[in-house]
Amino acid sequence: MIKRGTPLLQVRDLAISFRTSRGLLRVVDGVSFDLAAGECLAVVGESGSGKTVSALALISLLSRRQSVIEGSVKFKGKELVGLSEDALRPIRGGGIGVIFQEPLSALNPVTTIGEQISEVIVAHRKLSWREAKKLAIGYLEQVEISQPDQRVRQFPHELSGGMRQRAMIAMALAGEPSMIIADEPTTALDVTIQAQVLEVLRRTTTERGAALLLITHDLGVVAETADRIAVMYAGQIVETGNAADVLRTPASPYTRDLITSIPSFAARGRKLATIKGMVPSPADFPSGCRFAPRCRYAIAACTTATPPLAPVGKSRLVRCIRAKDVVSGAARRAR
Amino acid sequence: MIKFALRRIALGIMIMVGSSVLIYALILAAPGGPEQKFAENPKYTAEQKAGYLKSLGLDKPVPVQYCRWLGACRRDKDGLDALIGPTGLPVFLPTPLSGINTGILHGELGYSYANGEGVGDSIAQAALPTLILAGLSIVIWLTLAVILGVWTGLKSGSKFDNTVTTFTYVTSTFPTFILGFMLIWIFAVTLGWTPVSGMTDARQFPAFGSELYWQYFGLDPAAALIDLARHLILPVSTLVLISVAGDSRYVRASVIDSMSMEHVRTARAKGLPYRRVIIRHALRTALVPFATNLGLAFPFLFGGALITETIFSWPGVGRLTLLATNGLDYPMLMAILLIASLMVVIGNLISDLLYAILDPRVRL
Amino acid sequence: MKKRAAQPDARAVHRAESPWRQARRRFFAGRQGPLGLAIIGVIFAFILIGPIFAPFNYSDIPNPSEDVFLGRGPSFEHIFGETAQLQLDVYTLVVNGGRSSLLIGFVSAIGSIAIGTLIGIVAGYFGGRLDSFLMRLTDVFLAIPSLFVIIVGARILSALGGTGLQTIVIVFVVFGWMGIARLVRGQVLALREMEFIEAARALGVRPIRIALRHVLPNAIGPVVVSFPFAVGGAIIGEAFISYLGFGVSALTPTWGNMLTNAEDFLLQGNWWWLFFPGLFIVMTSLSVNMIGDALRDSLEPEGRRS
């Protein structure tokens, strides 16, 4: 039983390094956030920001041989970092479910959908295969897949992209977890299907009071679904806060640039806003603030030391020493 | 699925036809046919030569000869009439339907130049020893390959993996016959543990497969089997050592590959027990390409042990082939090549079908 | 005017490596490739420089001594020993045999790969009926087990009058192109659909240039990898066929026909006649396999992050 008030998931100073031919390379640094039961936290960032790696690291899904995880990840008060595979197993699927980005490769191509859902039930809930199969059909119904009793016997390649992703959601739900990590669940789908799948995801998690950790680079998805948002850049979190607030008044220069770079109808005819430069690779992280080379608010102090994640206003954390200027700059526009 | 199978079979038949043409063409180019007799000897007149050739049917154009050899044309008629049998159905159909019983398609494989016996009989007699040798070897090496491959694949990078991989690597690069020589030298000549060659001990048993042999066998099966086993050790070891390496590395690569596949990661993420992750998810997809190798082992049963049979004087198909090649015994050669090709085509068919059964994505 | 931030640390920018350079780096970084190269290098050197040190001409037949019919073992004069019967110097034979064997290996490999590549590119690039026809042809050739057909082919050609090196090479080339043809065709087919080819077409680049500059360099991977294996296969094949007696006649020594003659005397105690050519065959085979595997690993690196 978790104490009232303790977040479901507490991540503190999560750091992930990869073993490369040139030694240990730190790709994710000082990631800290909380996830409360039932809430939806979106982790946003471009490719290479470290968001997927961080999410996978929560349940140690990275290759143990090639990666080193440091820091603390507490799920329902229990420390996950450093646990053996055996100890982690009941939590994977049973406590924390995962939905991957590309269902065609994430699903076993030679096994039926039904079996892939049933095996989660059998593994975590001690039911027989026959009972599991019945439940599997039920889960398929919940994710709004038509003719679930037939789909159960089909193979992944026989389903459409949207259905496959919904089958993955069913698979994740089947363990009745308290939280689900969804890694770019809609990126591989058509726009029209994206909305459906997102809706199914949100509805099923809300129905059960399950928390949702949504990894995405699509701010539109965030606006639709998230309660809170964490923005990542170059392996670090640069801003966290209430989703609506952050999107309306970003306090980090990076977030601000991200938002303004979304083409809008109102800005028709004007030059498209871009962020100059490129995301640095982990081998070349600048010392000091990692966004400084591309930042229009950068000053000399920005390059001397990495700014810490500091509070700005109510329940907002920002990693920028000029956050206040960013906010006032943005506020001017919102009026 | 049925359509898939039918299409593959049709393709196989087409290929067999093609290879029969190729084989026929190959032999056609060879010297030593019946005409040779006349080319050398000036005593025969031109008319005698022509008469002889006509009696053998060699005066007809090549395609017609081929057709008759194949059994798609009858020998007593000419032109298009030759394609239809006395029953009114095409000649290439089986004998009960077409009424014709000459040619390969109707089982007439010809008579050996060497001893005049039916080619079919000689091949059948040589097939059993080859089957024993090759069959036993295949079973052993495939089993070993899977076990070793899976084990080293799952533990890839470990010392165990490295030792096994290096060892199998070295043995796989040995040419078969050199390995065979080495084994003979070490175990048969120097240590004297096994017989040097042959299939049976000539001092105790008559030639394998003959009537007399089976009588001896009946009298004392245990002794006969032990004798057989002693003679099988070296040749089987040679074949196994050579082949297990390649296959086990293949399985290993498959296993390593599939372990890093996303759906294995999904299985881990679902918190499934380790054994299930490995067997149901990783191995299941890893072994699909390997299972198709099983189909390819099929032709091996007929001709794969040729080199080994030569070195160990094993009275099998390989040795038969060599004798036939040496003596340019064309009917024998043609039949052997045809049967060998047939086995290859059937093996491919088995392999394709296995693939379709194991991997539902292929059943298009 | 806001102050611009200073430039990031001038950490070394990776010089862009072409795939070839990457592959080469990987090749030499491992152990297999360089070791294989070293071994075959030694063999090559041996073959090329060896005759200088050979005290005998290989066609010299010294007075065979009756007492030592079996030939003497390795000694100072004859470091690889002598053969039986004619008591020829084994070292000389191995060196000269090596030239023939390696020549056969390389020429056969080049020939069969050239033909296979040509057929593969034509089939893959033009597609349609031509492709179907060529692939059926390949299947037909493949249907007959190579060992059988090579033996028969060699025998027939030798009966027709050729027992020299050319015979063997011709047989290997005529019956050895199929594997490469399939590989190359597969590559070309895959490449044809790739976007950079479509992009080139869309930009109006001429087909010849596309074929040479875009398709060929990318399709060449399997060809390069196959080459060492083809050489090894030909050398071993020749050894075996000569051992059977259908290959190169004994007048021109090759490692293979040395084995034929030597086998008879093995049981009587003359192991060196068999051993040294055999050793060279095995070493050559091992080294080309190592090179081939290292090439394959460096051109298509295995192992992924999970």
Of B32-46, B323-337, C141-155, the range with the lowest mean pLDDT is: B32-46
Percent of chain B with pLDDT over 70: 92
Q: Around Cβ A321, how many Cβ atoms within 10 Å?
A: 17
The pLDDT value recorded for residue A4 is 55
Question: Mean pLDDT over all residues of chain B?
Answer: 80
In chain C, which residues have their Cβ closer than 8 Å to the Cβ of B310? 244
Residue C32 has pLDDT above 70, yes or no: yes
Residue C55 has pLDDT above 60, yes or no: yes
CB contacts < 8 A, B to C, total: 119
The pLDDT value recorded for residue C305 is 31
User: From C3, which residue of chain A is nearest by alpha-carbon distance?
Assistant: A299
User: From B336, which residue of chain C is nearest by alpha-carbon distance?
Assistant: C148
Measured CB to CB, residues of chain C less than 8 Å from chain A are 2-9, 11, 305-306
C301 min Cα distance to partner chain A (Å):
14
Of A123-137, A249-263, B336-350, C249-263, the range with the lowest mean pLDDT is: C249-263
Percent of chain C with pLDDT over 70: 80
Report which of A173, A181, A14, A168 is spatially closest to residue A82, judged by C-alpha positions. Answer: A14
Of A149-158, A174-183, B82-91, C38-47, the range with the lowest mean pLDDT is: B82-91
In chain B, which residues have their Cβ closer than 8 Å to the Cβ of C246? 325-326
Residue C77 banded pLDDT, cuts 50, 70, 90: low
CATH number at residue C119: 1.10.3720.10
Contact B284 A111 (CB under 8 A): yes
A52 min Cα distance to partner chain B (Å):
14
Range of the domain at C281: 43-299
In chain A, which residues have their Cβ closer than 8 Å to the Cβ of C7? 293
Residue C155 has pLDDT above 70, yes or no: yes
Residue C206 has pLDDT above 80, yes or no: no
Q: Which pTM value belongs to this model?
A: 0.74
Look at residue C75 and tell me if it is in a domain.
yes
The pLDDT value recorded for residue B122 is 84
Q: What is d(CA B82, CA B65) in angstroms, rounded to the nearest whole number?
A: 12
| DSSP summary character for residue C4 | P
Q: Which pair of tokens denotes residue C218?
A: 């990318």
Could you give the ipTM of this predicted complex? 0.80
Query: How many structural domains comprise chain C?
Result: 1
Of B173, B196, B259, the CB nearest to C285: B173
Helix axes C32-53, C272-299, angle to 10 degrees: 140
Report which of C202, C212, C222 is spatially closest to residue C125, judged by C-alpha positions. Answer: C212
Q: Does residue C194 sit in helix, strand or coil?
A: coil
SS3 of chain B: CHHHHHHHHHHHHHHHHHHHHHHHHHHHCCCCCHHHHHHHCCCCCHHHHHHHHHHHCCCCCHHHHHHHHHCCCCCCCCHHHHHECCCCCECCCCHHHHCCCCCHHHCCCCECCCCCCEHHHHHHHHHHHHHHHHHHHHHHHHHHHHHHHHHHHHCCCCHHHHHHHHHHHHHHHCCHHHHHHHHHHHHHHHCCCCCCCCCCCCCCCCCCCCHHHHHHHHHCHHHHHHHHHHHHHHHHHHHHHHHHHHHHHHHHHHHHHHHCCHHHHHHHHCCCCHHHHHHHHHHHHHHHHHHHHHHHHCCHHHHCCHHHHHHCCCCCHHHHHHHHHHCCCHHHHHHHHHHHHHHHHHHHHHHHHHHHHHCHHHCC
Q: Which pair of tokens denotes residue B135?
A: 């069959």
B273 min Cα distance to partner chain A (Å):
7
Q: Around Cβ C290, how many Cβ atoms within 10 Å?
A: 24
Residue A231 banded pLDDT, cuts 50, 70, 90: very high
Residue C55 near residue C113 (C-beta atoms within 8 A):
no
Say yes or no: C147 contacts chain B, CB-CB below 8 A.
Answer: yes
Q: What is d(CA C228, CA C284) in angstroms, rounded to the nearest whole number?
A: 10
Residue C70 banded pLDDT, cuts 50, 70, 90: low
A207 min Cα distance to partner chain C (Å):
33
The pLDDT value recorded for residue C109 is 93
Residue C254 has pLDDT above 90, yes or no: no
Which of A20, A27, A66 is the mutation pick for testing C, counting most C CBs within 10 A?
A66
Say yes or no: B228 contacts chain C, CB-CB below 8 A.
Answer: no
Contact A287 C9 (CB under 8 A): yes
Residue C13 has pLDDT above 50, yes or no: no
Say yes or no: B276 contacts chain A, CB-CB below 8 A.
Answer: yes
Say yes or no: B363 contacts chain A, CB-CB below 8 A.
Answer: no
A180 min Cα distance to partner chain C (Å):
20
In chain C, which residues have their Cβ closer than 8 Å to the Cβ of A292? 5, 8
b (16+ CB within 10 A) / e for B176-191: bbbbbbbbbbebbbee
Read off φ and ψ for residue C83, nearest 5 degrees: -80, 170
Which of C9, C17, C22, C304 is the mutation pick for testing A, counting most A CBs within 10 A?
C9
Contact C6 A303 (CB under 8 A): yes
Of B170, B265, B325, the CB nearest to C151: B325
Residue B340 near residue C144 (C-beta atoms within 8 A):
yes
The pLDDT value recorded for residue C67 is 60
Residues in chain A, total: 335
Residue A166 has pLDDT above 50, yes or no: yes
Residue B42 has pLDDT above 60, yes or no: yes
Residue B41 has pLDDT above 70, yes or no: no
Edge-first strand listing for the sheet containing A211-216? A96-99, A179-183, A211-216, A40-44, A228-233, A236-242, A317-318, A310-311
Q: What is d(CA B321, CA B126) in angstroms, rounded to the nearest whole number?
A: 10
Q: What is d(CA B263, CA C110) in angstroms, rounded to the nearest whole number?
A: 42
Q: Which segments of C146-215 does DSSP mark as H helices, in order?
A: 146-159, 165-174, 178-192, 195-202, 207-209
Give the tens place of pLDDT for each residue, B103-162: 777 777 777 766 767 788 888 888 888 888 999 999 998 899 889 888 888 887 788 888
The pLDDT value recorded for residue C63 is 63
Of A288-292, B149-153, B305-309, C62-66, the range with the lowest mean pLDDT is: C62-66
The pLDDT value recorded for residue B352 is 84
Say yes or no: B268 contacts chain A, CB-CB below 8 A.
Answer: yes
Q: What is d(CA C246, CA C153) in angstroms, rounded to the nearest whole number?
A: 9
Kindly state the average pLDDT of the residues A20-33: 87
Residue C68 has pLDDT above 70, yes or no: no
Percent of chain C with pLDDT over 90: 5
The pLDDT value recorded for residue C112 is 93
Residue A24 has pLDDT above 80, yes or no: yes
Residue B36 banded pLDDT, cuts 50, 70, 90: low
Residue C6 has pLDDT above 50, yes or no: no
Residue A135 banded pLDDT, cuts 50, 70, 90: very high
In chain B, which residues have their Cβ closer than 8 Å to the Cβ of C265? none
Of B223 and A68, more confident: A68
Look at residue C9 and tell me if it is in a domain.
no
Residue A99 near residue A56 (C-beta atoms within 8 A):
no
Tokens 């809170």 correspond to: A228
CA-angle at C276, arms to C273 and C281, nearest 5° = 125
Q: Chains with ≥3 Cβ pairs under 8 A against C?
A: A, B
The pLDDT value recorded for residue A74 is 92
Give the tens place of pLDDT for each residue, B276-295: 777 888 888 777 777 777 78
Of C6 and C117, more confident: C117
Tokens 């606006």 correspond to: A223
Give the tens place of pLDDT for each residue, A105-114: 889 888 889 9
Look at residue C22 and tell me if it is in a domain.
no
Residue B193 has pLDDT above 70, yes or no: yes
Edge-first strand listing for the sheet containing A9-20? A23-35, A9-20, A67-75, A78-79
Residues in chain B, total: 364
Using left for φ > 0, alpha for ψ between -120 and 50, and beta otherwise, residue B201 falls in: beta
Say yes or no: B274 contacts chain A, CB-CB below 8 A.
Answer: yes
The pLDDT value recorded for residue C11 is 43
Residue B75 has pLDDT above 50, yes or no: yes
In chain A, which residues have their Cβ closer than 8 Å to the Cβ of B280? 108, 111, 119
Q: Does residue C83 sit in helix, strand or coil?
A: coil
The pLDDT value recorded for residue C10 is 41
b (16+ CB within 10 A) / e for B117-127: ebbeebbebbb
Look at residue C225 and tell me if it is in a domain.
yes
Residues 127-186 of B with CB under 8 A from C: 169-170, 172-175, 177-178, 181, 185
Say yes or no: B157 contacts chain A, CB-CB below 8 A.
Answer: yes
Q: What is d(CA C134, CA C123) in angstroms, rounded to the nearest whole number?
A: 6
Percent of chain A with pLDDT over 90: 31
Q: What is d(CA C215, CA C209) in angstroms, rounded to the nearest whole number?
A: 9
Contact C266 B181 (CB under 8 A): yes
In chain A, which residues have their Cβ closer than 8 Å to the Cβ of B274? 85, 89
Of A140-144, A235-239, C12-16, the range with the lowest mean pLDDT is: C12-16
Read off φ and ψ for residue A8, nearest 5 degrees: -60, -45
- Enclosing H/E stretch for C235: helix C216-244
The pLDDT value recorded for residue A15 is 92
The pLDDT value recorded for residue C301 is 58
The pLDDT value recorded for residue A221 is 82
The pLDDT value recorded for residue A140 is 93
Residue A269 has pLDDT above 60, yes or no: yes
Question: Burial level of C285, CB count in 10 A (0-12/13-18/19+)?
Answer: buried
Residue C5 has pLDDT above 80, yes or no: no
Q: Measured in whole angstroms, how far is the alpha carbon of residue A329 from the centre of its chain?
A: 29
In chain C, which residues have their Cβ closer than 8 Å to the Cβ of B177? 239-240, 243, 259
In chain C, which residues have their Cβ closer than 8 Å to the Cβ of B345? 143
Question: Mean pLDDT over all residues of chain C?
Answer: 77
Look at residue C264 and tell me if it is in a domain.
yes
The pLDDT value recorded for residue C2 is 42
SS3 of chain A: CCCCCCCCEEEEEEEEEEEECCEEEEEEEEEEEEECCCCEEEEECCCCCCHHHHHHHHCCCCCCCCEEEEEEEEECCEECCCCCHHHHCCHHHHCEEEECCCHHHHCCCCCCHHHHHHHHHHHHHCCCHHHHHHHHHHHHHHCCCCCHHHHCCCCHHHCCHHHHHHHHHHHHHCCCCCEEEEECCCCCCCHHHHHHHHHHHHHHHHHHCCEEEEEECCHHHHHHHCCEEEEEECCEEEEEEEHHHHHHCCCCHHHHHHHHCCCCHHHCCCCCCCCCCCCCCHHHCCCCCCCHHHCCCCCCHHHHCCCCCEECCCCCEECCCCHHHHHHHHHHHHC
Which of A299, A304, A325 is the mutation pick for testing C, counting most C CBs within 10 A?
A299
Residue C300 has pLDDT above 70, yes or no: no
Instruction: Give the CA diameter of chain B.
Output: 90
Of B169, B175, B322, the CB nearest to C244: B322
Q: What is d(CA A284, CA B40) in angstroms, rounded to the nearest whole number?
A: 84
Say yes or no: B362 contacts chain A, CB-CB below 8 A.
Answer: no
Question: Burial level of C84, CB count in 10 A (0-12/13-18/19+)?
Answer: buried
Kindly state the average pLDDT of the residues C255-274: 78
Which of A80, A111, A184 is the mutation pick for testing B, counting most B CBs within 10 A?
A111
Residue C58 banded pLDDT, cuts 50, 70, 90: low
Bridge partners, residue A28, by sequence: A16
Residues 224-283 of C with CB under 8 A from B: 232, 236, 239-240, 243-246, 259, 263, 266-267, 271, 274, 278, 281-282
